[in-house]
A and B are shown apart, each in its own frame.
Chain A
Amino acid sequence: MTPKGVSQLTKPEGMLTWRDLEIGSIVVEPGNASQYQTGDWRSERPIFDTNKCIKCGICYIFCPEGCVEQNAEGYFEADLFYCKGCGICARECWTKAITMVPEEE
């Protein structure tokens, strides 16, 4: 699923033929990297334990993908469309509130 507020590609990359490409394979839609699902690189996903979370936001600061956001209740969660499962948030979390779980579990 594409995250809210991100438009679908006019044509998914897998549907484009070589004839559909712009000159020099130029990308003409500004900011369309947001449509790229980096989440499918993931082998482990972060599970956030709200009982341990102190809402400090260190996970938000350290996330190299910029995919950790604060929800309405003030807890943090990763957007799995983008999360590559690097585990930096889990390593940095002071209260060990984040656990990396293999995708197949």
Chain B
Amino acid sequence: MAKRIGIEVSLAIAEAAKLADVDVVAAYPITPQTHIVEHLAELVANGELDAAYIPVESEHSAMSACLGASAAGARTFTATAGQGLELMHEVLYVASSMQLPVVMAVANRALSAPLSVWGDHSDVMAVRDTGWIQLFVENGQEAVDNVLCAFRIGEDPRVLLPVMIHLDGFHLTHMIEPLLFPEQSQVDKFIPPYQHPMPLHPDRPVTMGAFAPPIIYFETKKAQEVNLEAAKEVILQCWDNFGKTFQRYYSPVECYRSEDARVLLLTMGSFSETAMTAIDKMRGEGREVGLLRLRLWRPFPFDEIRQAVGNAEVLIVLDRALSFGGPGGPVCSEVRSALYSEDKRPKVIGFVGGLGGRDITPAGFEEIVDRGIEISQKGSDQEFEIFGVRE
């Protein structure tokens, strides 16, 4: 039987990595990810987890060490946040191109300057195109469940790709929640052993990350794109299997009271739970509003988004990142693009809010919905709206 334990979400993620029986952890501590890797170091030091914990001098080295471990056939886990994710940047591409299924929890954090350790999605958006599978979670249970799923998805021989699990820094990492942990035997059955088909081994020498002149480089990129697209099927199968085993179900786009909604709000990450409270209140007042929560960020769930939007007339997208000088938020930009070629599509209104740990309350979400409807009717001279900044 699964046990329900009151635990900080960061520690729960470390416990999930332990349940997945990771072989190697290479990480550099950074707020607000610190508790995840501190607890993993503790588990290894106490002999509770039989793994190599590699303390490194930077995130660039952390990801590099993870590549080596994964290439040698080790189940590999790491975690980072904000500036740390940016310092890893170039190595992230290597992990996905070399098809090494490293699993990484990212405690989403704003980027300097000015220095901020608090949450938003600026760090995520800067690594959007690195070729990793990327999932967003909203609460502690989703974080635990999806760490387990991430190993199963990433290490699947049909996939072999690294996976990022995005969770909001502080708003989620530092919460204490009552969480269900599956039994070790159930997890062992759920995640088969990691077997890279061609690991680094002296008996069968291979070259990973070789030099590719123009005559062959583009072919490797096409293969990578096809592989990441195809991973969606395996992700769906994994969530389906997880649901049947553990009775908790996940999908690429989660719908909340969205049936017959004329106005839809779309969010990513832990703010979605606050948005649900706002939706409940507005529904109580008889308003036809609903919520979509985008869980699968890469590969992007085009079909699921189109289906979830259905016949809505207005779609209001909240981004927690700003593409300076661009169309506003990257999520809105992509959702709008996914819907553009549809014969019947809603007006898509973009908002950017919640940067650098700025909160959005249920009343704030109501305001966003009201303003979004107003823009849909009267138009606006702005490409997007910034919400929650003192004028």
Q: Please give the residue numbers on chain A whose beta carbons come within 8 Å of chain B beta carbons, in ascending order.
A: 13-14, 16-28, 30, 32, 36
User: A13 touching B216 by the CB < 8 A rule?
Assistant: yes
Report if A18-B206 is in contact (Cβ < 8 Å); known contacts: A13-B216, A26-B198. no
Q: Which of B95-142 contact A (CB under 8 A)?
A: 97-100
Q: Which of B218-226, B340-348, B352-360 contacts A (4 or more CB under 8 A)?
A: B218-226
Q: Do residues B210 and A25 form an inter-chain contact, with CB atoms below 8 A?
A: yes
Is B215 a contact partner of A13 (Cβ separation < 8 A)?
A: yes
Closest residue of chain A to B157 (Cβ to Cβ) is: A23
Beyond the given pairs A21-B223, A28-B206, 13 more chain A to chain B contacts, judged by CB atoms under 8 angstroms and listed by A's residue number, are: A16-B219, A18-B220, A18-B223, A19-B223, A20-B219, A23-B99, A23-B197, A23-B198, A24-B97, A24-B98, A24-B99, A25-B98, A27-B207
Q: Are A18 and B222 in contact (CB-based, < 8 A)? A: yes
Report the Cα distance A27→B223, complex, angstroms: 15
Assembly CA distance A4 to B391 (angstroms): 76
Give the shortest distance, in Å, between A57 (CB) and chain B (any CB). 29
Residue of B nearest to A12 (CB): B215
Q: How far is the CB of B221 from chain A (nearest CB, A)?
A: 8
- Distance (whole angstroms) from the CB of B242 to the closest CB of chain A: 25
B208 touches A24 (CB 8 A): yes
Contact among B97, B205, B213, B226 with A18 in the assembled complex (CB-CB below 8 Å): B226
- Chain B nearest CB from A71 CB (Å) reads 30
Q: Provide the residues of chain A in CB contact with B99, threshold 8 Å.
A: 23-24
Closest residue of B by beta carbon distance from A32: B207
Given the complex of chains A and B, what is the CA–CA distance between A95 and B222 in angstroms?
A: 52
Instruction: Name the B residues within 8 Å of A19 (CB-CB).
Output: 223
The CB with the most chain B CB atoms within 10 A, among A20, A21, A24, A28, is that of A24
Interface contact B220-A25, CB-CB below 8 Å = yes
B205 touches A25 (CB 8 A): no
B212 within 8 A of A: yes
The answer on a CB contact under 8 Å between A26 and B216 is no
**CB pair B216 A24 closer than 8 Å:** no
Smallest Cβ distance from A13 to chain B, in angstroms? Answer: 5
Q: Which 3 A-B pairs have the closest CB atoms?
A: A24-B99, A27-B207, A18-B222
Residues of chain B contacted by A28 (CB below 8 angstroms): 198, 206
B99 CB, nearest partner CB in chain A, Å: 3
- A-contact bits for B217-236, CB 8 A (1 contact / 0 none): 00110110010000000000
Chain B residues, Cβ within 8 Å of A26: 98, 198, 206-208
